[in-house]
Amino acid sequence: MENSEIARLLAETADLMEIAGEDPFRIRSYRNAVSAIEAYPEPLETMGRQPGRSFTEIPGIGKGLASAIREILERGSFERRDEMLAKYPPTVLPMLRLQGVGPKTLRALIEHFHISTMDDLERICAEQRLRTLPRMGAKLEEKILRSISQFRQSAGRFTLDFAANVVEDLAKHLGEVTPAGSFRRGKETVGDIDLLMTSKDPAGAIQRFVSYPGIKEVLAKGENKASAKVGFEGIQVDLRVLPAESFGAALQYFTGSKEHNVALRTRAVHRRLTLNEYGLFRQEGGERVAGETEHGVYEALGLAWIPPELRENSGEIEAAETGSLPRLIERSDIRGDLHMHTRESDGRATLEEMAEAAKTLGYQYIAITDHSKALAMANGLDEKRAVAFARRVREFNRQNGGVYVFSGLECDIKRDGSMDLAEDALAELDFVVGSIHSYMNMEAEEMTDRLLRALESPSLRALGHPTGRVLLHREAFPFDFARIAEAAAARGVALEINASPERLDLHAPLLRAAKAKGCRFVISTDAHHCKHLENMRFGVLMARRGWLGPSDVLNTLPLEQFKAALRIS
DNA sequence: GCCGTTTTCGGCCCGACTGTTTTCAGTCG
């Protein structure tokens, strides 16, 4: 069993305990354990088999949780979870994710209306019965209904990191598979996963697939194709086993997008060719022109091979025809990571651990950007602590020859657009990221003014997660993006591509718009522990979808050039 | 439930908004 699954069971139990109104400190311990386990580099299952070792080695895990973990590894659940599930069915849990619904409200709803699903809650709100409860009114009914509808829209979609884990696991089980579909295009959320492979023994490959232990339900099983729901969340995976001669055509076909494929097929027809998932053929005589490789298919259509991230029929075919496709940024171009948190605020690792992890990734530099004081819950830094931290970082760099650390801050942009910390304190820091974490329900005009004012701050280097969206959860807040991009370009403030798979903010259309306005970018992980640093790849995918090359992204610069860009000696 | 002790108990990040009230509980970050 994976660490993430153990963490999920504990988190679910903590949610249920919260609804039941149990001791908040005990619940906090569970939540601490969840993030400790998620961040833990070693599989607990392996660790549990090693004599002389105990889960209490992990900070945040004591005797009680260690025994719960042992129980989970033995039988897939533990006593307290079973108890809680006897009280409340797991179907109540998704309702906790709705805006305006917390554990207390949910408990009141369950007790008064005996609801157990989101459908029940929707009905209560639609019938305007929620308002019969104390302290609940029409506004909450509306808010919940809005939130339910948004939840429905995102249901059945998954974040990229989740899909990546499924793909990696399946690849271990199946051998060489090639993902296609929106996953291969690097779309920020995916609905299902398409996997392709070639094999001399298709039946054997299909059999291996349907016997994968993570499979929840086999939806279809044929000679060359099978579909199944995989994992607890039930993401659909389609596997296709193909003959080698049509692999490239199939890869092209199943990678899409639909719009891109329509344009390609039209192009083929103009050339008296026909393109399908089996290959590219002459209309007269049916002779195969291409199909073994994707490159061959594009070449036969008079096009350069198009990177999957660009295949949205938004100019890439024209560029491929004229040989003007951009040289896209790659993960190996990245020299540093400029947004991360440590224990100083709400991160889990120390500055030293982050620097070490960055070194392993081959980086030359990082910026530590903990939260500022407005995020009290994250133990954000005030002026005094920020300046002291900058001193500590300078000391670290003197003593340490490895990765160069820039002192930074993720400074809250307050309601009026001013910075959370005084400018003289910010001036002590090397790299200030400005981010909005509150008052996201402003009108567009007010929000635009707020961001414009923030961009006036002389210390600001980058605008963090600029639209504030959280995938599958919260929409971007409204503002005039074109004006902000123009102002950022004029002020020399970089726009962040936040690589956290929950955000992936900015996304492709905005990146292209911003690039056209002359903006520069940084790709940053917003890591809260060392493992998160690996999310850089998702940020790079986003940048590629936005047609960005290395010269558009500041953290491709080697250390000395980056310092020069910041005017740091 | 964890942790660290002033070591077997007592403390454990908190400030502000929202919608509902008419003084504040619950949510959010």
Give the pLDDT confidence of A43-93 residue by residue, as tens digits.
999 999 999 899 999 988 999 999 999 999 999 999 999 999 999 999 999
pLDDT class for A186, splitting at 50, 70, 90?
very high
- Quote the CA–CA distance of A155 and A189 in Å, as a whole number: 11
- Which nucleotide lies at the shortest CA–C1' distance from A133? B20
Amino acid sitting at position A366: I
Q: Distance (Å) from CA A541 to C1' B22?
A: 53
Q: Distance (Å) from CA A420 to C1' B5?
A: 36
Q: Report the run of H or E that residue A263 belongs to, with start and end.
A: helix A258-270
Give the pLDDT confidence of A526-547 residue by residue, as tens digits.
999 999 999 999 999 999 999 9
List, in sequence order, every residue forming a beta bridge with A197; answer none if it has no partner: A241
Rounded-to-5 percentages of helix, strand, coil across chain A: 50, 15, 35
| pLDDT of the residue at A439 | 87
Dihedral of CA A324/A329/A335/A339: which sign? positive
- Nearest CA to A500 out of A529, A462, A521 is that of A529
Give the pLDDT confidence of A28-48 residue by residue, as tens digits.
999 989 988 888 888 999 999
Least confident of A131-140, A363-372, A478-487: A131-140
pLDDT class for A568, splitting at 50, 70, 90?
low
* Three-state DSSP state, A235: strand
Q: Read off the DSSP letter of residue A241.
A: E
Nearest residue to nucleotide B15 when comparing alpha carbons to its C1'?
A376
Q: Distance (Å) from CA A470 to C1' B21?
A: 32
Give the pLDDT confidence of A132-157 residue by residue, as tens digits.
998 899 989 998 998 898 888 888 88
Q: Distance (Å) from CA A32 to C1' B9?
A: 21
| pLDDT of the residue at A511 | 97
Positions in chain B where some atom is under 7 Å from a protein CB: 1-3, 11-15, 17-21, 25-29
Q: Distance (Å) from CA A105 to C1' B22?
A: 21
- Which nucleotide lies at the shortest CA–C1' distance from A371? B29
Report the C-alpha dihedral over residues A412, A414, A420, A424, rounded to 10 degrees. 110
- Which nucleotide lies at the shortest CA–C1' distance from A140? B19
Mean pLDDT of the residues in chain A: 93
Q: Distance (Å) from CA A485 to C1' B28?
A: 29
List, in sequence order, every residue forming a beta bridge with A405; answer none if it has no partner: A366
For residues A493 and A567, the model is more confident at A493
Nearest residue to nucleotide B20 when comparing alpha carbons to its C1'?
A135
Give the pLDDT confidence of A253-303 residue by residue, as tens digits.
999 999 999 899 999 999 999 999 999 999 988 999 999 999 999 999 999
Amino acid sitting at position A83: E
* Three-state DSSP state, A244: helix
